């Protein structure tokens, strides 16, 4: 007697049907891209919070939240009294302050990592559209990081400007159809009948209105738009051999109007036109000439090496590329290269502009060097034929591992929190701060300007510092006096007498001459010392 009760058909194997759509089946190329960005996110998540101006921005943001108004004068630095404040990063400061209150320094680190990751993901997408190849796009993104390496780890409102610039590049792909050079000859075809997507007219002013309240780098975006408009006009004038031809070109007129719309959108800020004027003349402040990131470009510095590398790559790419270089490309390179000459901090904006220009040429060189990859490079990043979900499963595993190994997972998974030495940079004066809180100083405290923001925010309540990283707000005479003392130059004691300074904080390595002066004088006594710095008080 048989014990089998199931019907005979039940013993037949049934074909398993995938639950996920084929669109979720990643290719191995896409898995490589996913792995690259997850590794980059993990790296960003463990960059320590800088000990310098980020805390000034947090302090400003907390002041704005507490007073529900924008500061008219610097609320931290008494010697800047009477100097008008135009806070072009007030929205970013409020965001940082709100995150710091809600999630502490770890939350700020997560915001930084997610913001920078999103910006670079957008850059990579743009480079992919321009070059037509995944590997070329990743190489271009890596080149962008190498050239602008000195700026990528700076946690300040500038990161929101970087995200806005990446969004602008994404918009430009739709504003300028000829910029996508995946099809041969697309740079020369007539586009007079093509229509600009309507969402561009809404997205662009919204972007610039937000950008103008997040960071002063919105001016960089306006310059980039103007270069594209003028470049289109030059191309049309040269092609038709007429100076009036651009006026008849629909795309030239659209770009001009779009630049005007973006400019008017930046006026949506608490200061109106004054913000644009302030941003335009900000770099001429004489106090900035003594700050490292405002030094002129030198080829032996890190920024100079990155700039030299970009020139070598550009020359090599142009030598072998058959892609036509537009006037907008030439203008972008010239304008941003010239802007970087007087101040190395512009390398952060030159790097993506350079990569934007060179990506199509790198893609063309790659396709001619590896003809077999031409078809694969020009196809969309989708999987053809029978779906293979193995890369998708591996990608899901990598996402989970990256999530679990970064501070982002702590609120959910728990675990041992990072120590303050891991969260903050090694130059953060924790022990000095604790000493000052235990023995609150009286009167004005002279500190290194890069510690001024931290000590004003985290030191004894109400402590007044001589100088902060908002040194552009200090009168030039005050700044000169600060440098005299910070460098241990002759007359430093008389200068401190004039400002009635009774407490002095000195960085042992970066202010070694001042340390030597303190050890020689009888008018000041060292009351605290660690490996990082010294606290001295006046001897009555």
pLDDT tens for 70-95 read 999 999 999 999 999 999 999 999 99
pLDDT in tens, 389-446: 788 889 999 999 999 999 888 878 877 888 888 899 999 999 999 999 999 999 999 9
Q: Is 446 helix (H, G, I), strand (E, B) or coil?
A: strand
Using CA atoms, how far apart are residues 54 and 157, in angstroms rounded to an integer? 8
Beta strands, E only, 136-256: none
**Residue 343 per-residue DSSP state:** -
Tell me the pLDDT tens digit for each residue of 23-40: 777 888 889 999 999 999
Lowest mean pLDDT among 45-49, 54-58, 378-382, 458-462: 378-382
Which pLDDT value is given to residue 185?
41
508 close to 533: Cβ distance less than 8 angstroms = yes
Contact indicator for 468, 56 with CB cutoff of 8 Å: yes
pLDDT band at 229 (very low <50, low <70, confident <90, very high): very high
Helix (H) or strand (E) holding 289: none
Look at residue 38 in the predicted model and tell me its pLDDT. Answer: 95
Structural contact between residues 338 and 223, judged by C-beta atoms closer than 8 angstroms: no
DSSP line for 291-328: SGGGSPP-TTSHHHHHHHHHHHHHHHHHHH--SPPPHH
Q: How far apart are CA 333 and CA 227, in angstroms?
A: 10
Pairwise CA distance, residues 376 & 164, whole Å? 31
Global confidence as pTM: 0.90
pLDDT tens readout for residues 8-18: 455 555 665 66
% pLDDT > 90, the chain: 70
Decide if 535 contacts 505 (C-beta within 8 A). yes
pLDDT of residue 178: 57
Q: pLDDT value at position 28?
A: 85
pLDDT band at 190 (very low <50, low <70, confident <90, very high): very low
Tell which residue, 80, 83, 54, has the closest CA to residue 465.
Answer: 80
Per-residue model confidence (pLDDT) at position 381: 43
Q: Average pLDDT, stretch 308-326?
A: 92
Confidence at 136, pLDDT banded by 50, 70, 90: very high
Other CB atoms within 10 Å distance of the CB of residue 310: 25
- How far apart (Å, rounded) are the C-alpha atoms in residues 426 and 376? 47
Place of tokens 């743009």: 126
Which strands, in side-by-side order, build the sheet including 524-529?
464-465, 444-446, 501-507, 533-538, 524-529
Please determine, for residue 126, whether its predicted confidence score (pLDDT) is greater than 90. yes
Output the average pLDDT for the chain: 88
pLDDT at 189: 45
């Amino acid at each position: 007697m048989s014990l089998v009760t199931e019907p005979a058909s039940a013993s037949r194997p049934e074909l398993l049907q995938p639950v996920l759509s084929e669109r979720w089946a990643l290719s191995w190329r896409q898995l490589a891209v996913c792995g690259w960005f997850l590794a980059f996110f993990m790296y960003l998540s463990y960059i320590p919070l800088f000990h310098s101006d980020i805390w000034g921005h947090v302090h400003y943001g907390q002041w704005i939240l507490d007073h529900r108004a924008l500061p008219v004068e610097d609320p931290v630095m008494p010697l800047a009294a009477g100097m008008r404040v135009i806070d072009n990063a007030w929205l970013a400061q409020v965001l940082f302050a709100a995150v710091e209150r809600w999630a502490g320094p770890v939350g700020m680190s997560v915001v930084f990592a997610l913001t920078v990751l999103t910006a670079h993901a957008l850059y990579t997408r743009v480079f992919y559209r321009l070059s037509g190849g995944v590997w070329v796009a990743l190489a271009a993104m890596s080149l962008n990081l190498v050239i602008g390496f000195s700026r990528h780890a700076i946690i300040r409102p500038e990161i929101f400007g970087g995200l806005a610039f990446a969004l602008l590049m994404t918009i430009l792909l739709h504003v300028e159809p000829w910029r996508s050079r995946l099809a041969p000859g697309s740079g020369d075809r007539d586009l007079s009948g093509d229509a600009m997507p309507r969402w561009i007219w809404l997205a662009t002013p919204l972007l610039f209105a937000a950008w103008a309240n997040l960071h002063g780098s919105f001016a960089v975006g306006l310059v980039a738009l103007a270069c594209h408009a003028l470049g289109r006009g030059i191309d049309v004038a040269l092609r038709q051999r007429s100076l009036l031809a651009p006026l008849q070109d629909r795309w030239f007129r659209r770009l001009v109007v779009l630049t005007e719309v973006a400019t008017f959108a930046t006026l949506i800020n608490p200061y109106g036109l004054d913000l644009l004027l302030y941003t335009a003349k900000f770099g001429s402040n004489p106090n900035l000439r003594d700050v490292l990131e405002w030094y002129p470009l030198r080829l032996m510095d890190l920024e100079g090496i990155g700039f030299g590398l970009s020139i070598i790559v550009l020359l090599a790419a142009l030598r072998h590329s058959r892609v036509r270089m537009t006037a907008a490309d030439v203008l972008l390179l010239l304008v941003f290269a010239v802007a970087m000459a007087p101040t190395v901090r512009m390398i952060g904006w030159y790097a993506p502009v350079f990569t934007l220009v060179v990506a199509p040429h790198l893609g063309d060189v790659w396709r001619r060097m590896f003809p077999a990859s031409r078809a694969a490079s020009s196809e969309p990043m989708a999987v053809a034929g029978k779906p293979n979900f193995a890369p998708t499963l591996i990608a899901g595993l990598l996402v989970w591992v990256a999530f679990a190994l970064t501070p982002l997972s702590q609120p959910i998974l728990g675990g041992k929190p990072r120590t303050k030495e891991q969260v903050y940079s090694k130059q953060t004066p924790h022990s000095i701060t604790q000493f000052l809180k235990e023995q609150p100083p009286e009167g004005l405290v002279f500190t290194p300007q890069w510690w001024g923001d931290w000590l004003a925010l985290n030191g004894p309540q109400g402590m007044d510092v001589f100088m902060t990283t908002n040194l552009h707000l200090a009168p030039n005479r005050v700044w000169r006096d600060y440098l005299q003392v910070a460098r241990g130059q002759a007359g430093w004691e008389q200068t401190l007498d004039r400002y009635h300074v009774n407490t002095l904080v000195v960085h042992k390595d970066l202010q070694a001459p001042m340390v030597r002066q303190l050890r020689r004088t009888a008018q000041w006594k060292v009351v605290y010392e660690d490996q990082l710095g010294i606290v001295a008080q006046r001897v009555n």
